[in-house]
Amino acid sequence: MKKIFENWKRFALKESEYRMDHQPADPEDAAPIYDLTMNGVYPDDVYGPNGPSWYGIGDGSDRDAWNKVMSLKDKPNAFVTIFRAVPKGVTQINSGDWVTITKQYAIDHGEGMNEEYDVISKRVLAKRIYTDGNSILEWGFWM
């Protein structure tokens, strides 16, 4: 029993270290990937031809994310793959984690970590990831 507790304690400490205090917006205050206009997070023109230039990061690196967002519009039960850069040894994406919908963004984020990292992924329903409107590349995963 002591060994199980020690393993859990190491995992809990490791998870709290990599999660930090900054958490994604609660789903009640955010918009799911299938409807960016929900809760007034983005205006209707987010889906227009200027959406990527007006609401993207402006350098074209988010084109893959925009294509995925557009393909998921009005499809809450569609599947999407989410990615997360995590310290070596972390093996799962948890409810309440920050995630991205592009593998390259996760790699870029991992390269900024001060330790070795892995990029892990998970296929989830579109109705499980939310944005607060801060970035089309950053999402909160909620079960």
pLDDT tens digits, one per residue of 52-86: 888 877 666 688 899 999 999 999 999 999 999 99
Q: Which two tokens stand for residue 13?
A: 């400490």
Radius of gyration of the chain (CA): 16
Closest CA to 123 of 63, 65, 80: 80
CB 63 within 8 A of CB 70: no
* Residue in the block written with tokens 């995630």: 99
Q: pLDDT tens digits for 18-55?
A: 555 567 878 888 999 999 999 999 999 999 988 888 88
Q: Which of 8-12, 35-39, 65-69, 88-92 has the lowest mean pLDDT?
A: 8-12
Q: Are residues 77 and 125 in contact, defined by beta-carbon separation less than 8 angstroms?
A: yes
- pLDDT the model gives residue 113: 80
In 33-90, the DSSP E strands lie at 79-87
What is the b/e burial string over 36-59, where b = at least 16 CB atoms within 10 angstroms of the residue's CB?
beebebbeeebbeeebbeebbeee
Residue 96 has pLDDT above 70, yes or no: yes
